[in-house]
Amino acid sequence: MIEIGFLKKENLQAFLKELAAKYTVYAPFAEEDIVSFKPLAEGRDICLDRPANLSPKSVIFPQYETLFKYSFLKKEDSPDKVDIKLEEQMDFKDTVIFGARPCDAKGFTVYDRVYKDSDIPDPYYTGRREKTVIIGLACPAPSPGCFCVSVGGGPADKEGSDILITELPSGYVFEPVTEKGKALMQSSLIEDGKASLQEAQKKQEETKNKVKNPFTKTGKPEISQKIFNEDEFWEQALSKCVSCAACTFLCPTCYCFNITDESRLKEGERIRSWDACMFFHFTLEASGHNPRPTKFHRFKNRVGHKFVYYPEKYNGVIACCGCGRCIRYCPVSVDISKVVDDLCEQSAETNLTSNGGKA
């Protein structure tokens, strides 16, 4: 059995077609200026030279999905009463996500703790997750705004991937991570790649050394509750935010959703769709009261969830993969890493003052 694989570049399309015979294969494709993950199809050119604008999270957690259909049936013996018939939508296909960046693959581990490994697993997310194999692609260079190394990741981080591949001039080095990943390396197109592993690791390390750490003042994102709860800080930091919520929809780790019932006389369907904590209506109560009435409160919650609440619940794990999409594509250039860094700096100054000037 091959432990480390190597796929020649000229064999990439043949390998993907081989996978497509058994799986639904999603890969990054470019359409004009947008790169997104779509099913493999003739006429589409795969794009691996830059990270996708949209992460592949919708493959396992769709932006819009029908949870079940329902219909009302009158009882023959009691016409004044009805039965409700439910039809679950649980037909999950064997799937491969090819070319996900390590930050994207790690994003699924944030979902896993909430939707798969909890006391009450989400059957829809879990069903797709267990039938999906993720082939991650090590980043050849950092992208603007990315800061993965400072939140526990890296451009060649294997967490969340079943296989990690690294591009070299002549081909791709395959490093299996899980049993699901090893099963995909049985292809006759994959050769023994041990001789190329050292070159791949050298490239991975060179890329890692180029990724910025925005938390240079404190070393890591540690936020005190005192500074975090000061409204004045948020009003100043978020003065230019337009509350469009693009950051949440682009984020590989945001998982808020809404549930609606779409009815048509005697039948209908229950739908789950993405939602965002940056929207005013997200926390709007039936009484008209909103506990997060301003964009400052909402962005505070977004940062708090990723850097305070989630780490508190899941043993210090930060619910941000540092992909930088929310920074690159924000229409007014709000930089979450700078906001957190400013929080950390003020938190460090507060701790220093409370300790009598001792670090």
pLDDT of residue 264: 87
pLDDT of residue 197: 97
pLDDT of residue 352: 42
Q: Where are the alpha helices (DSSP H) in the chain?
A: 12-20, 57-60, 102-111, 123-130, 179-184, 194-208, 225-228, 231-237, 246-250, 295-304, 310-313, 325-328, 336-354
Beta bridge partners of 35: 30
Blockwise average pLDDT, block size 10, the chain, 359 residues: 93 96 96 92 86 95 95 84 89 96 97 96 97 97 93 95 97 97 94 96 96 76 77 89 93 95 92 95 95 94 93 94 95 93 72 49
pLDDT of residue 218: 60
pLDDT of residue 359: 46
CB-based burial, 12-35: b 16+ in 10 Å, e otherwise = beebbebbbeebbbbbbbbeeeeb
pLDDT of residue 2: 87
Q: Where are the domains of the chain?
A: 1-61+93-210, 63-89+214-359
